[in-house]
Structure formats: C-alpha cells, structure tokens
Amino acid sequence: MDPRRARLDAERDETLGRFASLTSDYEGVVAASRDTNADDEHDPEGSTIAFERSQIGALVRQARHHLGEIDAAVGRWDAGTYGVCEECGAPIGEERLEARPAARTCIGCAAATG
C-alpha cells in the first residue's frame, strides 16, 4: 500500500476512535446532568457541567468535521487527484501531506487564503 494512503487510513482510524470516545464522554456528561437536580444558574456545579458539555460538544463537532475532511481526501485518492492543490493545480508538498494528510491546497495557496 502507498504510504500516503496508509497515512490517510491511519488518520481516519484515529479520528474515528477519538470521535467515539468523545461521543461517549458527551453522552456521559448529559446523562450525569439529567440525573442531578443541578440548576445551571444557581448551583455552582451546574455551570461546570454546562461548560463540560459545551467543551465536549465542540470537540465532537471538530472530530466530525475532520472525519469529513479525511473522507473527502480518500475520495480525491480514489479519483486520482489526491496531492493536487484544489486552487492552483500544483502538487501539494510531501511535507504538507505528512503533517496534514487531508490537505486540499498547497502551502502557497493556504497562506494566501489565510
């Protein structure tokens, strides 16, 4: 197997594991908050629970987005366009793909769009 494809597969597996763990954590926090009579506004623990729920929820959304990016990169692999900048059509450097296997653009185009 091509090492670049192996990196994509490893990144996808890692992200799926993180997503599953975060989803479980989120469900645990939600269940814990249901089992208490915490009033977020008046109970000192309520604000902590709400903060945890918000933090984990944000991490779940981030992992879901990253998984979508990886799946799009796998689609580009299957289409034969993986490693080609979507902006300028130039090859994406191996160093960039090593650091960000789901990269859609070369470093120059990524820097230009900010």
pLDDT in tens, the chain (114 residues): 899 999 999 999 999 999 999 988 888 887 777 766 555 555 555 567 778 888 999 999 999 999 999 999 999 999 999 999 999 999 999 999 999 999 999 999 999 986
* pTM attached to this predicted model: 0.78
Answer yes or no: do 64 and 102 share one domain: no
Answer yes or no: do 8 and 47 share one domain: yes
Token pair listed for 72: 């799009």
Give the model's pLDDT for residue 42: 55
The domain containing residue 98 runs over which residues? 83-114
Answer yes or no: do 42 and 8 share one domain: yes
Cα-atom radius of gyration of the chain, to the nearest Å?
19
Total structural domains in the chain?
Answer: 2
Is 85:91 a contact under the CB 8 Å cutoff? yes
Q: How many CA atoms lie within 13 A of 87 on its CB side?
A: 12
Give the model's pLDDT for residue 27: 84
Give the model's pLDDT for residue 39: 53
User: Which of these, 108, 22, 10, 6, lies nearest to 60 by C-alpha position?
Assistant: 22
